[in-house]
Amino acid sequence: MIPRYSRPEMVSIWSPETKFRIWYEIEAHACDAQAELGVIPKESAEAVWKAKDATFDVARIDEIEAVTKHDVIAFLTHLGEIIGPEEARFVHQGMTSSDVLDTCFNVQLVRAADLLLADMDALLEALKTRAFEHKETVCIGRSHGIHAEPVTFGLKMAQAYAEMDRNRNRLLAAREEIATCAISGAVGTFANIDPAVEVHVAAKLGLKPEPVSTQVIPRDRHAMFFAVLGVIASSIERIAVEIRHLQRTEVLEVEEYFSPGQKGSSAMPHKRNPVLTENLTGLARLVRMAVVPAMENVALWHERDISHSSVERNIGPDATVTLDFALARLTSVIAKLVVYPDNMMRNLDQFKGLVHSQRVLLALTQKGVSREDAYRLVQRNAMKVWEHGADFMEELKTDTEVMAVMTEAEIDEKFDLGYHTKNVDAIFQRVFGKS
């Protein structure tokens, strides 16, 4: 996570200020529940809320931690400085540090997920808009980087939309999975604290109680969360690579928006490089690199070891901040993408009519020609186009073996672009519920 690829709202979720605020809320709600159970005095629980509007002094907490070498104790000491040591006496009672740390981390991940879901909504909206805008904008489809048959640019956007919509559902599921709270004590047995405290805190924070914890919330939940971020990043990469390809000099079917004052290169003023989507390709690698360590974090020893902590202190902010930035950047790229329908048609026609060879092949077999013969007939005319720049339709019409089974009109019909787009509405109906 570096400022260059960060947005403030996501960054703020991971600030020390936010973290201490969440710690405070966990402790304060736990005190309420403890007071309700009669474990601690009601006045003590109420006193904790005196810090409700306090700003916690991060530098002061760091200072205390430098001595105690324990972050939660440092925080509690500082809390005592605010609300009075006597009033703070019952705070954290029966709890273990991880109750606070893990519940807080999940709160942060849930908030991060909510931002990411909003990002995805914006991206979906942009993709949908461009999809309908270019529903009928015909361009060549390519397999293996080689011209295949016509598609529309709107279809490309619809594919991206469907993929991102799946990703949205995955993230929603991962958010649900990560939205748990554990206040279960040193080894998860609730020996020193009633499960009711966990239930209360969970409800106040919009979480569910973790059914069974150890000292920590089980890390398979987090592994799943980061795995989903990795899949989303991979989808971003796919769309970015598509745009990079379409912006290649020889293709130039789309271009990233290029603001008037922007300089493309220090030396080559005509260059407009797809630097945003190239950047997204790299950002995808960054998000994805969190997946393996998050999985390695699962196998903690016994009721916990702390090896996961340093990993999460990094990948928690890094993966979410980077993905937030990437989603926003991609949304902007899509929304502003300059599309060149004329270039799309020029490319589609590059090999005069060859794009229709599949239809001709089919027509020949439907006329009773064997698959092998039809293939041979199409291939020999296609090769004239490929090698000598001939026009495919003209060649077919002078091929006596072809003309023996097809009429000119029948051949003409096989070169109709509308044939390829006739089911686009049906596909849009599937993807968007309308066309």
Q: What is the closest distance, in whole angstroms, from the C-beta atom of residue 52 to a second copy in the complex?
A: 22
For a second copy, which is the closer residue by CB, 53 or 60?
Answer: 60
Q: Which of 15, 55, 68, 407 binds a second copy (CB under 8 A)?
A: 68
The answer to whether 231 and 165 have CB atoms below 8 angstroms apart is no
Segment near a second copy (CB under 8 A); pick from 29-37, 108-116, 118-126, 231-239:
231-239
Neighbours of 400 (CB within 10 A): 6
Q: Site for a second copy (CB under 8 A): which residue of 170, 204, 336, 352?
A: 170
Stretch in the footprint of a second copy (CB under 8 A) among 18-26, 232-240, 333-341, 396-404: 232-240
Answer yes or no whether residue 179 interacts with a second copy by CB under 8 A.
no
What the block records as the tokens of 81 is 């400085």
Q: Quick check: helix, strand or coil at residue 308? A: helix
How far is Cα 257 from Cα 239, in angstroms, rounded to an integer?
16
Number of residues that bind a second copy (CB under 8 A): 159
CB under 8 A: which stretch of 18-26, 120-128, 142-150, 332-340 binds a second copy?
Answer: 142-150
> In the complex, what is the shortest distance from the CB of residue 23 to a second copy, in angstroms, rounded to a whole number?
13
Can you read off the two tokens belonging to residue 276? Answer: 């945003």
Amino acid in position 111: R
Residue with tokens 């073996």: 401
Which one of 265, 307, 310, 435 is the catalytic residue?
265
Which of 8, 38, 145, 260 touches a second copy (CB under 8 A)? 145
Residue placing its CB nearer to a second copy in the complex, 55 or 192: 192
CA gap 233, 300 in Å, rounded:
27
Measured between alpha carbons, how far is 173 from 115 in angstroms, rounded to an integer? 15
Cβ burial of 206 (10 Å; 0-12, 13-18, 19+) is: exposed
The only residue of 34, 333, 351, 364 in contact with a second copy, by rule CB under 8 A: 351
Give the binding range for a second copy (CB under 8 A) out of 19-27, 50-58, 109-117, 367-375: 367-375
Place of tokens 């640019």: 153
3-class DSSP assignment, residue 180 = strand
Question: Minimum Å distance from CB 423 to a second copy?
Answer: 4
Parallel, antiparallel, or unpaired: how do β-strands 254-255 and 338-339 relate?
A: antiparallel
CA 333 to chain centre: 15
- Stretch of 25-33, 66-74, 102-110, 334-342 contacting a second copy, by CB under 8 A: 66-74
Strands 146-152 and 338-339: unpaired
CB 276 to a second copy: min, Å: 10
For residue 158, state whether it binds a second copy (rule: CB under 8 A): yes
Is residue 388 among the annotated active site residues? no
Question: Tokens 């001595």 appear where?
Answer: 67
Q: Which of residues 244-303 bind a second copy (CB under 8 A)?
A: 244-245, 247-251, 259, 261-263, 265-275, 278-279, 281-286, 288-293, 295-303
End-to-end CA distance of the chain: 40
Pick 245 or 336: Cβ nearer a second copy: 245
List 146's β-bridge partners, or say none: 143
Give me the residues paired with residue 151 across strands.
Answer: 139
The residue written with tokens 């760091």 in the block is: 62
Of 32 and 99, which has the nearer Cβ to a second copy? Answer: 99
Q: Which of residues 311-330 bind a second copy (CB under 8 A)?
A: 311, 313-315, 318
Q: If binding is defined by CB under 8 A, does position 414 make contact with a second copy? A: no
What letter represents residue 72's amino acid? V
Q: Give the Cβ contact number of residue 24 at 10 Å.
A: 22
98 catalytic? Reply is: no
Selected from 127, 230, 327, 330, the binder of a second copy by CB under 8 A is 230
Q: Which of residues 377-406 bind a second copy (CB under 8 A)?
A: 378-379, 382-383, 385-386
Active-site residues: which are they? Answer: 144, 265
